[in-house]
Every structure is written in C-alpha cells, then in structure tokens.
C-alpha cells in the first residue's frame, strides 16, 4: 500500500493531533468594515507571511475593466517589502493610503513596468486606493501580522483554513449555470483533480463538471473533453493563467494546470459562455468542517484534519510504537501479581494468599532467584524514553530530507 507525499504529511499531522490532543485553528479573516463591498475581485485575504517581498499588480482585471489591485487584500509579516507594479492598462493609476497612512506613490501614471514599494515595519491594517478610480472599486489593503503563511507543499504543523472562504462570493458568475447548485466541491485532499468538459448541463453538453471546485496550492487540475457538445476550450475570465487554445471537440483531449497561488480562478468555454458554460477553481487551505468530494475519507473531529484509510493505518502504527512499552509494563505487572489457583479443603479452588511452599533445594550451592519477571520501574521508564528519542530522531531526519532537501522519501 503506497502512500503519496501529500497523504504522509496529512497522516503525520493527524498523528500529532491525536497524540497531543491539539486542535488546528483556522486563520481568522480580518474585519475590513465594508471596505471591499464594491470590489469585484476581492475573494479573501491572501496569506503571504514569511516572504521577504510581495508584489501587487496595479491595473489588474476587475471592477469592469483594468481597475483592480491583485491581490486586493494581502497579509504579510512585519518587515516585508510590498511592491506595486503597473500593468499599463486601465489608464493612470496611483497608490494612496485611505486617511492618514504611509502610502503615497504620487500622481497617477499609466506606464507599464512602473513600480512603487513600501516596507511595513509595524503591525496593523493599511487600506489604500487608486484615487482616479476609487469610485469604481479600485481599492486594496495590506494586513501586517506576525506568523508564517501557508505553503504549497502542505506545510508542517496543523492544517489551516486560509485563502477564500468555503463558498466564495462569485459575484453572479454562476447565475446562468444550470448545473451549479450553490456549493463548491471540496477536493483539498487530492493531489490531482479532473473536470469534465462537455458534461450535461445548460440544455445540452455545455457544462463543466464540477463547475466549482476547491483545491490546495500545488494541485494539478486536468480538464478532460467528453467529445460532446461541439468544440470547447478553457480560457480564464480576464487576466488569468488558463488558456487551452482554440476550441476542440475530440473526445479524450486534456488540458492541465497546476495552481500555486491562493485565489478564485474563473474560466469559461468561449464559444458557449453565453449558454452558461462557465466554471471556477478556488485555491485555498483545507476546510475545517466536513466535506470532500472524494468521500470515504476518515476525519478527526474538531481538528479540521481528514485522514484516509492508509493514513489512519500509518497514524495507528506510530501511536502503537509510542504506547507499546507502557502496555508491556502493565502486562508484566499483572503477571507478577497473579497467582495460580490452588485446591483447598473440600475440593474447592482458592487463590493463594501467601507465598507458595518451596521444598528445600537439594543442591549444595545456594539457590539464586532470577528476576526476569519482576517489574522494574526505572528500566521501563528508560525503555519508554528510548522510544520517544527514537521517534524524535526519525522526525528530524524526515524534516531535513523531505522538506529542506526536497527529496521525496515517501513515493
């Protein structure tokens, strides 16, 4: 039974939660007080903590044109340099703090490649706007908090719900999509996810199935053509990473993309977009509640950690290694205290209350009592300590080889 790297890391997190009886906590979304109510491309706070430099695009697609900052909201660590980079689209833009803040890039400029940077030293929330297009919703925010951000590898430590919420606000994107039932299918437990192109929906074979899916960073999403409904393609809505090229109708055609950054990625089949052939991929951390599109997975209640059958087996093996010395010590103690039953008067069985009579040894040398079955608290404690040290060394070894060396030992 082979475990993938993602399954092993998930099982390790589950084992740590079971042994320490800890609970993974979700990243709390900041309260912006309605700041993003009219910002169409806001889909949650992107956690970039732990990075020395973070780039924000100025003039990204959003708010009915190139009138957006991307990402609109970002969380960074104290001491991080944030760089705003102009795309050259949407006319002149600038970056100015809302109220009395530290950001001021000067007058609006439209030249592509223009940059403005600021290093945030103190914690807090820093809202800003593009003054010429503030009324259109061209606003953003930088949240400065200590801590480390999410990792595309699954990260060490507890799994956290980060990035977009469970069911993001798609802003009417699915209003005319007949096979969208209002839920985003959770596939955060999968290394790769498949979406059918030309599935039944929208009065014909004009749908993506599932239309909305949630994955974790680093997941490969593959679109597979059914061969029905004519020519289809997969193209991002606005300035996005998806573009399968011209429409094709051949069954078995595939197109794949690996999502590394958190966010909401909307896409459509260009020839049939007006019919409702649209979809979205939500990239974020694992959800704390139940869900999961694959089914059959086991779940650690209250910890937000989902474990499959192989992962439970691995977790149980590690826990057994921890507690087997204690179970052995208890068994030996019970054996030491136990006495075999004896036949008493009247033929009734009774348990001996004292030491059994021992015949005098005939040997000339004094008898030596062997203490193999005696309970030795110090020896047992030393054995338990040895097991814990061994497990600790194994974890240190895994950390340096698997995470620092980037060499997979799991398969």
Binding site feature residues for Cu cation: 232, 269, 272, 277
| Sequence-ordered list of residues with C-beta below 8 angstroms from that of 355, at least 6 positions apart, any chain | none
The torsion angle over the Cα atoms of residues 176, 213, 263 and 224, rounded to 10 degrees, is -90
| 228 three-class SS | coil
N-term to C-term CA, the chain: 11
| Sequence-ordered list of residues with C-beta below 8 angstroms from that of 44, at least 6 positions apart, any chain | 29, 73, 163, 164, 165, 168, 262, 284
Tokens 């991929």 correspond to what residue? 281
The C-alpha atoms of residue 171 and residue 41 are separated, in whole angstroms, by 9
The C-alpha atoms of residue 274 and residue 349 are separated, in whole angstroms, by 89
Distances (CA, A) of 278 to 40, 264, 339, 347: 17, 13, 76, 87
To the nearest 10 degrees (0 to 180), the angle between helices 309-337 and 5-20 is: 40
Distance between alpha carbon 314 and the CA centroid of its chain, in Å?
Answer: 20
Residue 279: DSSP 8-state: E
The C-alpha atoms of residue 150 and residue 189 are separated, in whole angstroms, by 16
Q: Which parts are annotated binding residues? A: 232, 269, 272, 277
The C-alpha atoms of residue 228 and residue 378 are separated, in whole angstroms, by 73
Whether 74 contacts 82, CB under 8 Å: yes
Whether 141 contacts 168, CB under 8 Å: no
Closest CA to 8 of 219, 187, 154, 161: 154
The C-alpha atoms of residue 139 and residue 101 are separated, in whole angstroms, by 14
Whether 233 contacts 244, CB under 8 Å: yes
| Other Cβ atoms within 10 Å of 111 Cβ, number | 8
Tokens 């909307």 correspond to what residue? 266
Distance between alpha carbon 35 and the CA centroid of its chain, in Å?
Answer: 27
């Amino acid at each position: 039974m082979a475990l993938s790297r993602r399954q092993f890391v998930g099982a390790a997190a589950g084992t740590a939660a079971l042994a320490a009886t800890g609970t993974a906590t979700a990243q709390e979304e900041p309260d912006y007080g309605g700041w993003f109510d009219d910002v169409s491309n806001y889909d949650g706070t992107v956690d970039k903590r732990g990075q020395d430099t973070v780039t924000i695009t100025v003039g990204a697609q959003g708010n009915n044109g190139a009138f957006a900052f991307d990402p609109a909201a970002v969380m960074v660590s104290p001491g991080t340099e944030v760089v705003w980079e102009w795309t050259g689209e949407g006319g002149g833009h600038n970056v100015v703090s809302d109220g009395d803040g530290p950001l001021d890039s000067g007058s609006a400029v439209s030249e592509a490649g223009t940059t403005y940077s600021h290093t945030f030293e103190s914690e807090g929330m820093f809202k800003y706007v593009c003054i010429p297009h503030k009324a259109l919703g061209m606003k953003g925010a930088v949240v400065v908090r200590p801590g480390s951000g999410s990792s595309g590898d699954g990260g060490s430590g507890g799994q956290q719900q980060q990035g977009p919420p469970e069911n993001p606000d798609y802003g009417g994107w699915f209003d005319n999509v007949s096979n969208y039932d209002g839920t985003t299918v959770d596939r955060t437990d999968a290394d790769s996810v498949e979406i059918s192109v030309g599935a039944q929906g929208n009065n014909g074979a004009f749908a993506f199935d599932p239309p909305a899916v949630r994955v974790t960073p680093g997941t490969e999403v593959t679109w597979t053509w059914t061969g029905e409904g004519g020519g289809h393609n997969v193209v991002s809505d606005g300035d996005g990473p998806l573009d399968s090229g011209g429409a094709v109708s051949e069954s078995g055609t595939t197109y794949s993309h690996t999502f590394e950054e958190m966010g909401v990625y909307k896409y459509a089949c260009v020839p049939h977009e007006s019919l409702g052939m649209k979809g979205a991929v939500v990239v974020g951390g694992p959800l704390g509640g139940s869900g999961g599109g694959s089914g059959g997975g086991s779940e650690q209640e209250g910890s937000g950690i989902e474990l499959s059958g192989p992962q439970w087996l691995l977790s149980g093996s590690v826990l057994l290694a921890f507690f087997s010395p204690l179970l052995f010590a208890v068994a030996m103690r019970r054996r030491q205290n136990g006495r075999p039953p004896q036949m008493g008067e009247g033929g009734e069985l009774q348990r001996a209350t004292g030491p059994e009579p021992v015949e005098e040894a005939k040997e000339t040398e004094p008898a030596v009592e062997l203490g193999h079955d005696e309970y030795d608290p110090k020896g047992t404690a030393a054995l338990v300590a040895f097991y814990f040290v061994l497990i600790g060394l194994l974890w240190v070894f895994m950390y340096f080889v698997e995470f620092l060396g980037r060499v997979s030992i799991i398969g």
